[in-house]
Structure 1
Amino acid sequence: MAEAIVEIVINNLSSLIQNELGPFLGFNEDLERLRSSLTSIKATLQDAEERQFTQSSIKDWLLKLKDAAHMLDDILDECATHALELHEGRLNCCGSPGKLQYSCLSSFNPKHVMFRYKTAKKIKMISERLDQIAKERHDFHLKEIVVDTRTTGVMDWRQTTSLITQPQVYGREKERDNIIDFLVGDASNSLDLSVYPILGVGGLGKTTLAQLILNHERVVQHFDLRIWVCVSEDFSLERMTKSIIESASGHACQDMELEPLQRRLRDIIETKRYLLVLDDVWDDNQDNWQRLRSILACGAQGCNSLGNNAST
């Protein structure tokens, strides 16, 4: 999906700006402008994703956007790597957390001057391409939709389920069998909750692979409970707990405060060997995951969590 890579690039742009790499590299205004342009385009992607199936021109536009976003992300990676290499051993923490103070002498390093020249040309080229893509967006009359996921949860068009929707799936047998061997083999002897991430950019078939695993006969026979939750961008502990309860029990869960929700979840999974699939994961805040993991740690030996990371 185009939205996944665009979101990644916006986050990477924000990170470079926050760490004050822009001024040091000499194109802070360009980074700000790129972030603003991509944020504006991102607001129309829900409408574009829904209309691409009936309008081939929009589908082609989304492909051009994804290609440009990947190119920009490569440039940003080069910028971050260059700064770290040039200043290795000469980076000092400054007053604001997460920011870096660079030696002004490094700005005159010949390697740095050449890098700035080459990168400036690349940024100009990708900026012009994104400007053209943004202009084409207006020709499609795409609606700008800013979704507050804190209140809406997972958008309908991104919702996934554990049901296998493709009648035939080819080329995934090796990956499927390797993961299943781990889940019912080594992981079944672990006293701790085992976590197996499935990483990759959008469109590689990670969700389909997770569906094949969850519905495989060996997995069905091995686990007492098989649970599927679509995480998406809305990671709140209350919503996650409620979704896990509903998937595990098969019944709608009443709105409750977090504590009674956690108690109910413990009652359902306690002493049971379960497999929890978390699909379309965006949140990488370790504090959130540690809090969720502490709730899930009451299952029987050999419990597993299979995570499909959408933004890697």
Structure 2
Amino acid sequence: MAMILDAFLRNFNSLVTKMMSDEVGMLLGIPGEIEKLGETVRDIQCVLSDAERKRNKNSAVERWLMQLKDVMYDADDLMDLCQIKAEDRRARYNHPSCSKFGCGINLLSCFHNPVFAHEVGKKIKELNSRLDKIAKKKSDLGLIELQHVVGQGQSNVNWRRSDISLKTDSSVILADIVGDKIEEDTELLVKWLTTEEMSVEENVKVFAVIGMAGIGKTTLAKMVFNETRIQEEFHLKIWACVSKDLKGVDLLKCIIREAGGRHDVAEERSELVPMLERLVRDKKFLLVLDDVWPESQNVWGELLRCAMIGGARGSRLLITTRDGNVARFMNATTTHYVEKLSDEDAWSLIIKQVAIDQIESEILNDVGLKLVKKCDGLPVATRYKSNRWSPSQEGQKRS
């Protein structure tokens, strides 16, 4: 878990660092809060390795890690929402050079909307408060910064070795599943993945799920991954989330672990590739690579293919990506584009998130449909809105 939380914290800290300017603080109405957030995140990062070492023997440390995980999921939703706004701004004003938070002007521009800026500012203050409480507990739990010797006299914090983002796993959150469309898409992908094609020369065929940020690619991939027919069809099922700042060795370790191997007995690519090759040889596998970016699109052709091509015939690679060019580069033979939620499905998602009953949902239907139109059919934006919407307040307004 420490590896996963480290990736969460580093990604979030990267956003926080880019936001550390007086102008951003003023736009969000939270001067000083961003700097405080960055300091708190770094304080927590320093003890993650020790927490991971102690979690199995100390239930309080385990609870501490779970609390941190909950906060970082909310922080990740905020990152996704900012990214959606930034990408929308980039598309509207044609800034092709600005990639994910790679352009300060692009990031800054999404905060000029006062309503959105207020929402982000409020969320950052909430995150600050929650993370501050978590950080204060580390001393009570006896968590310290661990170091180990590297080479001659050099020291390094051992969790810093990982630069792979493992922010997703294969578990399905039922509250995220609404509407017939995702069921239909799941059925279609399962059929594609389990249909044998004798004309295909290679043992491993590549499929791609494509769509913009926050549209539900990962949720769809999770639905497919956990489908009963998939579980029965493939001997090995492996899930890995990749990122722009990918380290090949860390990805190999992740996949080896997911395949049931010992990932901690080797450190070099030359040792890990043969290990993976032995694990998948003559086995029918499904490998899901979630969130592949152009910066990491070589991961299959240059790193994994040589180790995994020895899998049994009918093995599959399923990637999710925002960029259709990535799918083409990775030689995906079949692609599926995820569509936005309908207004009705978006409203159903809010109903699930805020847990209102059928009578309340009928009373608030008109208000709800107005609310979801602001989310533009994006599940991540819809969940974000639902976390800030109070049905009881709406009921008071109507009475």
Which interval holds the TM-score relative to the shorter structure? 0.5 to 0.7
Equivalent in the alignment of 1:47: 50
Q: Deviations over 1:271-308 (max 9, x none)?
A: x67537589x8986222333124424476753434789
- Are residues 1:38 and 2:48 paired? no
Whole-angstrom CA distance in 1 between matches of 2:48 and 2:104: 34
Given that 1:24 and 1:102 are in contact with CA atoms closer than 8 Å, whether structure 2 keeps it comes out as no
Residue identity matched to 2:41: L
Residue identity matched to 2:45: K
TM-score (norm 2): 0.45
Which residue, out of 303, 322, 325, partners 1:292?
A: 303
Whole-angstrom CA distance in 1 between matches of 2:106 and 2:75: 24
Which residue, out of 311, 316, 323, partners 1:304?
A: 316
Equivalent in the alignment of 2:102: 98
Given that 2:64 and 2:134 are in contact with CA atoms closer than 8 Å, whether structure 1 keeps it comes out as yes
Q: Deviations over 1:122-152 (max 9, x none)?
A: 312321221121011111111323216769x
Given that 1:194 and 1:302 are in contact with CA atoms closer than 8 Å, whether structure 2 keeps it comes out as yes
Whole-angstrom CA distance in 1 between matches of 2:65 and 2:9: 15
Identity of aligned residues (%): 22
SS of residue paired to 2:92? coil
Equivalent in the alignment of 1:275: 285
Gaps of 5+ in 1: 152-173, 221-225
Q: CA deviation at 1:88?
A: 4.6
Which residue, out of 69, 75, 99, partners 1:66?
A: 69
TM-score (norm 1): 0.54
Whole-angstrom CA distance in 2 between matches of 1:40 and 1:53: 22
Q: Deviations over 1:53-86 (max 9, x none)?
A: 4433323322322222222223333333334445
Given that 2:20 and 2:35 are in contact with CA atoms closer than 8 Å, whether structure 1 keeps it comes out as no
Given that 1:229 and 1:278 are in contact with CA atoms closer than 8 Å, whether structure 2 keeps it comes out as yes
Equivalent in the alignment of 1:135: 136
SS of residue paired to 2:285? strand
- Are residues 1:77 and 2:80 paired? yes
Query: How do 1:235-246 and structure 2 match up within 5 A?
Result: 235-236=247-248, 240=252
Quick one: structure 1 residues 113 and 87, their matched pair in 2 at CA, closer, same or farther if it must change by over 3 Å? Answer: farther
Given that 1:269 and 1:298 are in contact with CA atoms closer than 8 Å, whether structure 2 keeps it comes out as yes
Equivalent in the alignment of 2:353: none
Given that 1:44 and 1:143 are in contact with CA atoms closer than 8 Å, whether structure 2 keeps it comes out as yes
Equivalent in the alignment of 1:113: 114
Residue identity matched to 1:236: G
Equivalent in the alignment of 2:124: 123
Whole-angstrom CA distance in 2 between matches of 1:56 and 1:268: 34
Given that 1:5 and 1:66 are in contact with CA atoms closer than 8 Å, whether structure 2 keeps it comes out as yes
Q: CA deviation at 1:14?
A: 1.1
Whole-angstrom CA distance in 1 between matches of 2:145 and 2:91: 43
State the superposition RMSD in angstroms.
Answer: 5.8
Gaps of 5+ in 2: 147-156, 163-182, 210-216, 321-399
SS of residue paired to 2:7? helix
Q: CA deviation at 1:102?
A: 5.0
Residue identity matched to 1:138: S
Whole-angstrom CA distance in 2 between matches of 1:91 and 1:150: 37
Quick one: structure 1 residues 79 and 191, their matched pair in 2 at CA, closer, same or farther if it must change by over 3 Å? Answer: same
Residue identity matched to 2:65: L
Q: Deviations over 1:15-47 (max 9, x none)?
A: 5645x6966643696445434422331332333
Whole-angstrom CA distance in 2 between matches of 1:264 and 1:48: 29
Residue identity matched to 2:205: S
SS of residue paired to 1:194? strand
**Greater RCO structure (CA 8 Å; 6+ sep):** 1
SS of residue paired to 1:101? helix
Quick one: structure 1 residues 138 and 292, their matched pair in 2 at CA, closer, same or farther if it must change by over 3 Å? Answer: same
